[in-house]
């Protein structure tokens, strides 16, 4: 399949010099680069949040049934405006 890709002139010049040195084509270098990037992204493990906890019995009794607004206000009480 044919496509058009815009790359900086300096990068194209480097690619042409490397292709000549390696006795290959710029097209082959681009294909190799894309394959490497695709393999790298395909091998990345998905993010997994580890389970953590803390000692204690959860929320304080007076906040256990509180709204998020009340919990947040308690957390930030005396810290700023």
Whole-model pTM? 0.51
Does residue 21 lie in a domain region?
A: yes
Among the listed residues 9, 5, 49, 61, the one whose alpha carbon sits nearest the alpha carbon of residue 31: 5
Total domains in the chain come to: 1
The confidence score (pLDDT) of residue 19 equals 97
Q: For residue 69, is it within any domain?
A: no
Check residues 44 and 50 and name the one with the higher pLDDT: 50
The confidence score (pLDDT) of residue 22 equals: 96
Q: What is the DSSP letter of 64?
A: T
Digit-coded pLDDT (tens) for 2-46: 899 999 999 999 999 999 999 999 999 999 999 999 988 877 777
Alpha-carbon distance of 60 to 25, in angstroms, equals 68
Domain that holds residue 26: 9-43
């Amino acid at each position: 399949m044919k496509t058009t890709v815009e790359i900086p002139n300096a990068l194209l010049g480097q690619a042409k010099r490397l292709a000549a040195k390696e006795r290959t084509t710029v097209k082959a270098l681009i294909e190799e680069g894309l394959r490497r990037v695709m393999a790298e992204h395909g091998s990345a493990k998905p993010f997994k949040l580890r389970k953590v906890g803390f000692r204690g019995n959860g929320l304080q009794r007076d906040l256990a049934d509180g709204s998020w607004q009340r919990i947040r206000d308690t957390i930030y009480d005396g810290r700023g405006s």
